[in-house]
Amino acid sequence: MVIGLIFLLALPLESKAIVIGFFFDSFGNGFSWACTALTIRALFAKDIGKHYNFMYVGAFIAVIALNRFGYGENYDRQAKLNRDADLAAGRTPIYPRCAGKKCVTNSMVILLCVNATAIVGSTWLHLRYRRFVLKRRVECTVELENCRLDVQQAENVQPGLNSVNMCSETH
């Protein structure tokens, strides 16, 4: 999404290449929601419904807040400024529409900052979860080795013991 926002800010609006920015932004948005759906299940095995709904409700509220306050207010303010400038210059105003990068630049910068914050948060979550998984793998390996040693000792004491796959069933 960051790449898409950079393209939207850098490319001229009259250019047909602006579609590249929309493509990257849409692709990033879909990728983000797909990852959210898959990650929630992996992270929260217990109470998945509560966490899953919390993630989507948070995103829903964020979309409304960003569209209403981050985009809508800036767009309207710039459209009114353009209208006043057009009236002062004797041109016919196009209000309530707004033309030019000035109408969306502040909103795109806000979204760029939000996305940069999301990247930092996602990286932090990834590193923390990776550390947890690696620690858990070491614990499971130690438990499995202890189980195998216990099985070997039991076979030495009782040679006819059927201990095939005894440890793998518990782990």
**Domain annotation covers residue 166:** no
**Domain annotation covers residue 114:** yes
* Distance separating alpha carbons of residues 131 and 138, to the nearest angstrom: 11
Specify the 3-state DSSP secondary structure of 96: coil
Residues of the chain with pLDDT under 70: 159-166, 168-171
Contact 55, 36 (CB under 8 A): yes
* Distance separating alpha carbons of residues 125 and 67, to the nearest angstrom: 27
- pTM, two decimals, is 0.58
What was the pLDDT predicted at 110? 85
**Domain annotation covers residue 161:** no
Structural domains of the chain, count? 1
* Distance separating alpha carbons of residues 158 and 72, to the nearest angstrom: 78
**Domain annotation covers residue 91:** yes
Task: Label residue 155 exposed, middle or buried (CB < 10 Å: 0-12, 13-18, 19+).
Answer: middle
**Domain annotation covers residue 83:** yes
**Domain annotation covers residue 157:** no
What was the pLDDT predicted at 171? 47
**Domain annotation covers residue 158:** no
**Domain annotation covers residue 103:** yes
Per the structure, the complete domain to which residue 105 belongs is given by 2-133
Could you tell me how far CA 120 lies from the centroid of its own chain?
10
Contact 85, 94 (CB under 8 A): no
